[in-house]
């Protein structure tokens, strides 16, 4: 198991380059295939004026490219990448709690249960703050957000994950942990406001979205242990 992600920047950069390379090659191969198909069909039909032929070929190529991009964008891996970052593209299916490989006995250990209790306590606090923001867009939650023990939560999450899951599953939970910790920091920024100056509707909506994302992220993490 791992208790830190010091190597994650390099791994993340590598996975991002690999994913983009695969995506680019897939698009190019499908585009080339469509152009070859267009050329083959054109050879068997009656000749057209050059300007008309070029227009038809261009239209067909653009349509095929649109279909290719659409198919790629709706794939499960790309959908997960949109939610959790570049991890998940071309990687094992580790972001689905139902597919997690875990040691059920380890989950019952005192170390893991203590870690999960800390995480659940933070989750309860986040849900309470989210409800307060939904009820009153001007509510001050910055002080409460700053009581979240950032380092302790991070350690608790890594301790629980690294004790319970296999390495492929840990890659998914590691990504979730990094997203959650970033969401805590971003929620603090969104919650800031000048004394005596009410939040605009735009800022209130941004804070609601940040709290919803943080709530959902912790909930997703805890589902791995259920």
Spatial neighbors of 65 by CB under 8 A, at least 6 apart, are 27, 30, 31, 34
More confident residue, 74 or 189: 189
* pLDDT, tens digit, 9 for 90 and up, residues 33-65: 555 554 554 444 444 444 444 444 444 544 554
Cα(217)–Cα(83) distance, integer angstroms: 10
Whole-prediction pTM value? 0.62
Cα(170)–Cα(58) distance, integer angstroms: 46
Kindly state the tokens that stand for 19: 């994913």
**Per-residue pLDDT, 183:** 97
Spatial neighbors of 164 by CB under 8 A, at least 6 apart, are 102, 103, 106, 107, 112, 224, 225
């Amino acid at each position: 198991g791992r208790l830190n992600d010091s190597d994650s920047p390099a791994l993340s950069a590598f996975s991002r380059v690999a994913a983009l390379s695969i995506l680019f090659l897939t698009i190019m191969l499908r585009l080339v295939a469509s152009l070859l198909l267009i050329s083959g069909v054109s050879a068997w039909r009656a000749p057209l004026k050059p300007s008309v032929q070029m227009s038809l070929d261009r239209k067909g190529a653009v349509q095929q490219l649109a279909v290719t991009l659409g198919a790629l964008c709706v794939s499960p891996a790309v959908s997960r990448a949109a939610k959790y970052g570049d991890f998940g593209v071309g990687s094992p299916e580790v972001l689905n709690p139902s597919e997690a490989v875990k040691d059920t006995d380890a989950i019952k250990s005192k170390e893991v249960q203590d870690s999960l209790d800390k995480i659940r306590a933070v989750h309860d606090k986040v849900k309470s703050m989210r409800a307060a923001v939904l009820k009153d867009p001007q509510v001050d939650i910055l002080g409460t957000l700053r009581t979240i023990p950032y380092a302790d939560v991070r350690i608790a999450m890594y301790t629980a994950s690294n004790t319970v899951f296999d390495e492929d599953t840990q890659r998914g939970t590691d990504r979730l942990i990094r997203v959650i910790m970033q969401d805590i920091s971003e929620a603090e920024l969104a919650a800031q406001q000048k004394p005596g100056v009410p939040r605009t509707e735009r800022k209130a909506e941004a804070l609601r979205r940040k709290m919803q994302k943080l709530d959902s992220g912790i909930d997703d993490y805890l589902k791995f242990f259920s």
